[in-house]
Amino acid sequence: MMSFGELLCQYTQELAQRWYERWRREGPASPALTEAALKDHLPVQLRVIGEALRVAPAFRESPRELWRQHERLDPEQRVIDAVLIEEVVREYGFLVEEVRAWLEERGEQVSFADYSYFYLAIFELTAESIRRYSKFREERVAQERSEYVAGIAHQLRTPVSALHLSVQQLGRVQGTPEARVLERLRRTVGRLGRLVDGILRLERFKPEELPIHPEMIAPAQVLEQIVADYEHDARSKGLRLELSAPRSARMWADRDLLVDALGNLIQNAIKYTARGFVRISLEEQADAVRFRVEDSGPGISPERQRELFRPVHPGQPGGVGLGLSIAFRAALAQGGALSLESTPGRGSTFLLRLPWRVHAREGLPAAEAESLPGV
């Protein structure tokens, strides 16, 4: 008669297949991810327990110590694959139930001590998975928070440097400062303020929770103001900054969020374009206004494009840079969309599409909205 340890070692694949069939019947939340993360490791883990059980009780490795060796357990891959730890715990429970049912069906008699060791080994396997999962996730969050803060500092560096330069120029001027110096200073302070406001909105609200305060605006004028803010940056790189927008167009939108979106798109286009142009245009459609920010930069690979519009939060893996994240959320919050057309080596075109009439959220009386003329 075979011992419990010998049964586990000899029938590893049969038990793993039995668990797999149970797993499929129960309907996992993430089938492909869970299969990759658990199915490949389960036979190894069963054999580890089986080999331990084949040793005399007095010389067996403790159930907790079984999982100290990295190759026997790989919970980090589950974090990378976004498998919820709750699902991992549930599936180890399936394993205990299936092994017990398998023993009963075969009429196998195992000692209480052996079965208790097996049960504790699975319990410790689950606990170690949770410990490693939590530690790995904590490290990932700390790293991503650091990168996020570094991204904010990088975004702030440019307007702060421009502000410092303007202040130095003011210090050299005797008498009344030149109007152009004061205007540049005003634009830089406004740009810095909008960036800080955008970051705060990103931190505090989900897109569907962002307060929306629409007003009747001329989008061409908004674009002209943003372009004026970035003309110096474009000119310093030798880029043509081109704008084409009908001045007669009127829309009902949140000015701050529109500036968040367009300002970051234009800034990114200038930042990543070494030579050529950045072209901004506005297209009037039947049910929406479409803004185009086109550049002659290096383009974006298909692999990167697939990640580009994943909403991100500090501590969450993947997604886009800070500027595009702000633009993406500003578009979603107003019931719009942000998309991309790009071919590596042939530039990129970001398309911001917003409805003619963005609906208010928190703060605009319904009667006031109803009294406005249609678009």
pLDDT score at 186: 73
Tell me the backbone φ, ψ of residue 113, rounded to 5 degrees.
Answer: -65, -40
Average pLDDT, the chain: 81
Q: What is the pLDDT of residue 347?
A: 95
| Residues of the chain above pLDDT 90, percent | 41
Burial call 199-220: b when 16+ CB within 10 Å, e when fewer: bebbeeeebeebbbebeebebb
Tell whether the torsion through CA atoms of 161, 162, 164 and 168 is positive or negative. Answer: positive
Q: What residue type is 236 in one-letter code?
A: S
Which of 67-81, 110-124, 125-139, 254-268 has the lowest average pLDDT? 67-81
Nearest partner of 328 among 289, 355, 354, judged by Cα:
354
Cα 250 from Cα 218, distance rounded (Å): 5
Residue 336: which pLDDT band, with cuts at 50, 70 and 90?
Answer: very high
- Burial level of 287, CB count in 10 A (0-12/13-18/19+)? exposed
CATH superfamily for 209-370 is Histidine kinase-like ATPase, C-terminal domain (3.30.565.10)
Distances (CA, A) of 317 to 15, 38, 139, 148, 321: 35, 21, 12, 11, 12
Tokens 């939340």 locate to 29
Regarding predicted confidence, which is higher, 373 or 174? Answer: 174
Model pLDDT for residues 255-309, shown as the tens digit of each residue: 989 998 999 899 899 999 999 999 999 999 999 999 999 999 999 998 888 777 6
Higher-confidence position of 43 and 174: 43
The token duo for 216 is 């009747």
* pLDDT for 365: 42
Cβ neighbourhood burial of 264 (10 Å; 0-12, 13-18, 19+): buried
pTM of the model: 0.54
Q: How many CA atoms lie within 13 A of 66 on its CB side?
A: 28
Amino acid at 338: L
Higher pLDDT, 151 or 315: 151
Q: Is the pLDDT of residue 150 over 90?
A: no
Q: pLDDT (tens digit, 9 = 90+) per residue, 43-63?
A: 888 999 999 999 998 889 888
